[in-house]
Amino acid sequence: MCRRSRASSTTATSLQAWVKQADADAGVRADILTTEEREELARLRRENKRLLTERDILKAVATFFAKENA
């Protein structure tokens, strides 16, 4: 495996990370997130960021109209 990694200029650290991730995806390891879980986490973080932005916009609009109607 090391000879192949040298030929393709892949580091041993990269190979270890790939094997570790493959083990997690196969259910062998439970100490790291699976690829599916990582994708879901990234999606939820994007959604959370969008929702926070929307909330801030709505707060600003509510404040604007509250001042206008006061």
Which tens digits make up the pLDDT trace of 15-66?
999 999 999 999 999 999 999 999 999 999 999 999 999 999 999 999 999 9
Query: Do 2 and 14 fall within a single domain?
Result: yes
| Structural domain boundaries enclosing 22 | 1-32
Query: Do 21 and 49 fall within a single domain?
Result: no
Give the global pTM.
Answer: 0.71
CB atoms within 10 A of CB 24: 19
Question: Is the model's pLDDT at 7 over the cut of 70?
Answer: no
Query: Do 37 and 48 fall within a single domain?
Result: yes
Q: How confident is the model at residue 70 (pLDDT cuts 50, 70, 90)?
A: confident
